Copies of this chain bind each other. A is one copy, B any other.
Amino acid sequence: MKRIAVVLAFASASAFAVEPVPYPEGYRAWTHVKSMLIQQGHPLYDAFGGIHHLYANAKAMRGYRTGKFPAGSVIVFDLLEAKSADGAVQEGARKVVGVMHRDAKKWQDTGGWGFEGFKGDSKTERAVDANAATACYGCHTQKKEGGFVFSGYRQ
Contact indicator B86/A42 (Cβ below 8 Å): yes
Shortest A42–chain B CB gap in Å is: 3
Interface residues of A in 63-101 (CB under 8 A from B): 86-91
Interface residues of A in 1-47 (CB under 8 A from B): 28-29, 31-32, 34-43, 45
**Copies of this protein chain in the complex:** 2
Contact indicator A36/B154 (Cβ below 8 Å): no
With A31-B29, A53-B32: A42-B91 Cβ-Cβ less than 8 Å: no
Contact indicator B38/A35 (Cβ below 8 Å): no
Which A residues are within 8 Å of any B CB, using their own CB? 28-29, 31-32, 34-43, 45, 51, 53, 55, 86-91, 121, 154-155
Top 10 A-B residue pairs of the complex, sorted by shortest distance between their CB atoms = A42-B87, A41-B87, A32-B32, A37-B89, A39-B87, A29-B31, A42-B88, A38-B88, A36-B90, A35-B35
